[in-house]
Amino acid sequence: MITRLSNKLYALLNKQVPATALGLFRFSYGLITLQEIFFLLHFNHLIFDPIPYLDVEFPMIPAFLGIWALIASCVTLGYNYQRAVTWNYLLWIVFVNFTPMQRDFDGGFDTFMIGAGFFLLFMPADKTFSLDSLRHKLNAPFVEGGYPKPTVSVLAYYLPLIICLGFLYFDSAIHKLFAEHWRNGLGTWLPATQPYYVSAIDMSPLLNQKWLQNLLGYTILVFQFTFVFFFWHRHLRVIYLLIGMGLHLGITLSFNIYPFGLGMLCFYWLMVPFSWWRAVRTLFVAKHPTLTVFFDQRCPLCNRTAIVLHHLDILARIDFKNAQQHAANTPALATIDSASLLKDLYAVDQSGQVFCGVDTYIQILKHMGYLRLAGLFLSLPLIKTIAINRYRAIADNRQRLSCDASCLPYRKSSIPSTWYSQYFEQNAQQKPKAITRKLTKILIVIFLLQLNSTIHYGLIYRFKLHNPTLAPLTQASNMLILWSQTFIGIVPHALYLHDHFQGYSRILALTYTDAQGQEQWLPFVNQEGRMIAPNWGRVHSMWANIAVTPHIDNLRLQKFIMKVTAFYGHQLGLDLTKTPFHIQMKKISAPAHWVYEQRKQNMAGEWTIIGEARWQTKQIQIHLPDNINQL
């Protein structure tokens, strides 16, 4: 078995494929990280303060989040890639494990982002759509005719998909078998009828079709059980791609846990068939350049300019040629003397019209297509005058040197080598068998870690198979789970199952009496019971999964009532000591069988005041019934 796996990995290691999707995956991952950092900045006081705005325990949190945002921006843009993804990975671990994010504000996708970040450490995601790929091009003078398209081992695609999606899906499917509503084909229907969990989009027309909900529910079960075994198959790949994208796009639009949906969705860049990328290139990339630009090949600045502009010309509409060799053979430039050709940047379009200087840059931007607006802006009278003055100051004072290694802005030693290039490209060429054996061992270890989590939570925990004689093995299993969860993001994926919804028969909301004596709803949970934007993701998890559960713990509920009232009281400019807050309760239902218009029924319930909260300086008095679980 191990030999077969090793031989398969050896074959895949040597199979080279385009690197296109890896750059898009990195870009999407970086954007999702950035939005989460901005979310944390917005809810900084709610999440990190013991008492929002009144007891600030971590005043440096915004500064560290700002640093993290810069690092995530580098990941997004592919700048200093290896260092950026390393620091980003470490910051995810630190924030999740050493702040209240994990204990009270679990975003539901933090460990998933850690796992994805772990694989980014070893993925060649800097080879496309990145600033690092531009920096590597700047290591040498401009290569006329373009640069070869980067290729990578197909393992860079398969391994993240197997572990981050395949293992996750299989583990999740095992847990789903223990949930009655999933066995009834209502796995997508039930959470979509619960006010706390839905987005503002009303999916009732779809929820009211029982056959459709059954089809979706059972399709997801089959999809998750079989994904890891068949996603790579050429004839099944598109089917798994479309179902998976539909699943996670549905989560993003239907529920208020959009970061989880987007985080999973970004992996599907890696599922797109390579033939699709070639079709997209054929459809959008120009077959023939529409503008030819002539530059002084011996000028360092002109070389750098040509490299940068060629890198940005993703639709291949500009052809860059050195003036020394090609200008004399271009009829449109016949009347221009050689000294002028080397002094300015010239361009000729398909009709033979000649452009010079700033006009050349305007035409370049327009012909690129996606930068057309920038070209139109540069052509505005005032902007163009400023640009011409700046252009002349640079062009007239540049030095014409022979462009060799001395004129290059970067050296190869100044751009850190990625771990992929060190461990996979170099070692795979020198010792392919050795690197394959190591990969086989690592993959087996990760599989065993996932198996340990699945057996521990999916079988032993579910069937209550605890045995005193197996206590040492249980402790060892827990230690492995702690390690794998912290550093690789391997956790049980028992989301929204029967033990979550069973007994979820009431929801709570908060209102207050304003200075005019009118009752107002906090901008948190609205009259329908929905958590309104931007209280989604980890804030939703805090309230709907920790504070309000089928079996409410009064101490935990009071803690989060304190946090929410202090946070939004400050946001709304309320005088906390003069503002009474009311705890509202509404009955809902979470049946394991299909009910027509269940979402509407849960939204339409009547609210009843069951408690009150009043602030006295930095103390809050909360009055709740002791029998809240029986109400």
Q: Could you give all domains of the chain from N- to C-terminal order, each with its CATH number?
A: 1-18+154-273+431-501 (no CATH), 20-148 (no CATH), 286-407 (3.40.30), 503-630 (no CATH)
pLDDT at 100: 87
**Confidence tier at 423 by pLDDT (50, 70, 90):** confident
Which amino acid belongs to residue 483?
W
Mean pLDDT for the chain overall: 89
pLDDT higher than threshold 90 for residue 436: no
Round to whole Å and give the CA distance between 537 and 543: 10
Highest mean pLDDT among 178-192, 401-415, 433-447, 474-488: 178-192
| % residues pLDDT > 90 (the chain) | 64
Longest dimension (CA), the chain: 95
Interacting residues of 152 by C-beta distance below 8 A, sequence separation 6+: 16, 17, 18, 19, 22, 124, 127, 420
Mean pLDDT of 461-474: 69
Mean pLDDT of 423-427: 75
344/355: higher pLDDT: 355
Which amino acid belongs to residue 23?
G
How many residues does this entry show for the chain? Answer: 631
pLDDT higher than threshold 90 for residue 317: yes
Task: Name the β-bridge partners of 620.
Answer: 615
Rounded to the nearest 5°, which phi and psi values hold at 548? -110, 110
pLDDT at 463: 67
Interval 51-63: pLDDT, tens: 999 999 888 999 9
Mean pLDDT of 255-264: 92
pLDDT higher than threshold 90 for residue 221: yes
| % residues pLDDT > 70 (the chain) | 95
443: tokens are 């993959």
Rounded to the nearest 5°, which phi and psi values hold at 592? -90, 0
pLDDT at 428: 67
Mean pLDDT of 154-164: 94
Task: Name the β-bridge partners of 607.
Answer: 586
Task: Tell me, letter by letter, the H, E, C secondary structure of 130-176.
Answer: CHHHHHHHCCCCCCCCCCCCCEEECHHHHHHHHHHHHHHHHHHHHHH
pLDDT at 464: 65
pLDDT at 498: 67
CA dihedral 72→74→77→82, nearest 10 degrees, is: -110
Task: Name the β-bridge partners of 291.
Answer: 318, 349
CA dihedral 87→89→90→96, nearest 10 degrees, is: 140
296: tokens are 């002084």
Q: Confirm if 127 and 24 have CB atoms less than 8 A apart.
A: no
CB atoms within 10 A of CB 421: 15
pLDDT at 9: 86
275: tokens are 């033939």
Q: What is residue 353's DSSP assignment?
A: -
CB atoms within 10 A of CB 70: 11
- CA-to-CA separations, 132 to 82, 127, 137, in angstroms, rounded: 10, 8, 9
How many Cα atoms are found within 13 Å in the side-chain-facing hemisphere of 339? 1
- Assess whether the previous peptide bond of 534 is cis (omega < 30° from 0): yes
Burial pattern 448-478, b for ≥16 Cβ within 10 A else e, equals: ebbebbbebbbebeeeeeeeeeeeeeeeebe
128: tokens are 């496309």
- CA-to-CA separations, 291 to 288, 355, 366, in angstroms, rounded: 9, 10, 10
Mean pLDDT of 113-120: 95
Rounded to a whole number of angstroms, the distance between the first and last alpha carbons of the chain is 57
Interval 550-592: pLDDT, tens: 999 999 999 999 999 999 999 999 999 999 999 999 999 999 9
Mean pLDDT of 522-540: 95
Placement of tokens 């993701």 in the chain: 537
pLDDT at 253: 93
Which element (helix H / strand E) includes 344? none
Q: What is residue 354's DSSP assignment?
A: E
Interval 264-305: pLDDT, tens: 999 999 999 999 998 998 898 888 899 999 988 888 888 888
pLDDT at 337: 79
pLDDT higher than threshold 70 for residue 401: no
pLDDT at 462: 67
Round to whole Å and give the CA distance between 133 and 146: 14
Placement of tokens 């800097």 in the chain: 126
pLDDT at 439: 87
Angle between helix 20-42 and helix 81-98 axes, rounded to 10 deg: 40
Number of H helices, E strands in the chain: 31, 11
Mean pLDDT of 461-484: 76
Which amino acid belongs to residue 77?
L
**Confidence tier at 409 by pLDDT (50, 70, 90):** low
**Confidence tier at 161 by pLDDT (50, 70, 90):** very high
Q: Confirm if 155 and 13 have CB atoms less than 8 A apart.
A: yes
Round to whole Å and give the CA distance between 409 and 406: 8
In terms of C-beta density within 10 A (0-12 exposed, 13-18 middle, 19 or more buried), how is residue 545 classed?
A: middle
pLDDT higher than threshold 80 for residue 210: yes
pLDDT higher than threshold 80 for residue 127: yes
Mean pLDDT of 99-117: 88
Mean pLDDT of 481-504: 84
CB atoms within 10 A of CB 60: 7
Q: To 5 degrees, how large is the angle CA 225–CA 227–CA 233?
A: 140
**Confidence tier at 22 by pLDDT (50, 70, 90):** very high
**Confidence tier at 77 by pLDDT (50, 70, 90):** very high
pLDDT at 623: 94
496/450: higher pLDDT: 450
Mean pLDDT of 219-227: 97
Q: Confirm if 443 and 437 have CB atoms less than 8 A apart.
A: no
Round to whole Å and give the CA distance between 334 and 150: 38
**Confidence tier at 64 by pLDDT (50, 70, 90):** very high
